[in-house]
């Protein structure tokens, strides 16, 4: 089966994953916005046996929100979000922005849009530029 590669920004942490994801959650909940520092988290789910670290697994740190099923793993060197294992170890959760190439996803969901702030809910009304604004 075809694979995709992914890495953190500095390149210390890299991985490969089978390009056949079950689901993608674009989550706008308060916790995902805080933990990513962005409008929403973009997480892909795949069976754990389709995932392999290629380098830097010992550079990965994980934060687990107490009493909630919310985690984030990140490279200790550059802070980029990198994949982590689900609580039961059956799935890997892969931040979409860490991948090179286009993920193949069976089903995509935007979730917790009720918690989305106005600045991130009408992105088609924000002026779009190819690079920096003129
Ligand atoms: Zn890094
Ligand atoms: Zn969330």
Burial class (CB in 10 A: 0-12, 13-18, 19+), 30: exposed
pLDDT digits (tens, 9 = 90+) for 34-59: 999 999 999 999 999 999 999 999 99
**Which-ligand-closest: CA of 72?**
2
Under a CB-based contact definition with an 8 Å cutoff, are residues 12 and 75 in contact?
yes
Q: What is the pLDDT of residue 1?
A: 83
Residues 6+ apart with CB under 8 A from 38: none
Residues in the 5 Å CB sphere of ion ligand 2: 27, 29, 32
Q: How high is the mean pLDDT in each 10-residue block of the chain (134 residues)?
A: 96 98 96 93 96 97 85 96 94 97 96 92 88 93
Q: What is the pLDDT of residue 67?
A: 78
Q: Residue 79 C-alpha to ligand 2 middle, in angstroms?
A: 19
Q: What is the pLDDT of residue 124?
A: 84
Mean pLDDT of the chain: 94
Q: What is the pLDDT of residue 70?
A: 78
- Count of H helices and E strands in the chain? 1, 12
Domains of the chain: 3-125 (2.170.150.70)
Sheet containing strand 3-7, strands side by side: 51-55, 14-18, 3-7, 99-100
């Amino acid at each position: 089966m075809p694979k995709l590669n992914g890495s953190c920004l500095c390149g210390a942490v890299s991985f490969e994953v089978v390009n056949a994801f079950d689901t993608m959650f674009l989550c706008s909940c308060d916790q995902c916005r805080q933990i990513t520092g962005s409008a929403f988290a973009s997480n892909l789910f795949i069976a754990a046996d389709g995932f392999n670290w290629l380098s830097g697994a010992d550079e990965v740190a994980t934060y687990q929100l107490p009493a909630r099923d919310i985690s984030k793993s990140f490279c200790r060197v550059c802070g980029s979000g990198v994949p982590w294992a689900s609580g039961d170890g059956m799935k890997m959760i892969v931040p979409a922005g860490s991948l090179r190439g286009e993920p193949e996803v069976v089903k995509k969901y935007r979730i917790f849009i009720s918690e989305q702030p106005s600045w991130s809910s009408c992105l088609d009304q924000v002026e779009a530029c190819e690079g920096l604004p003129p």
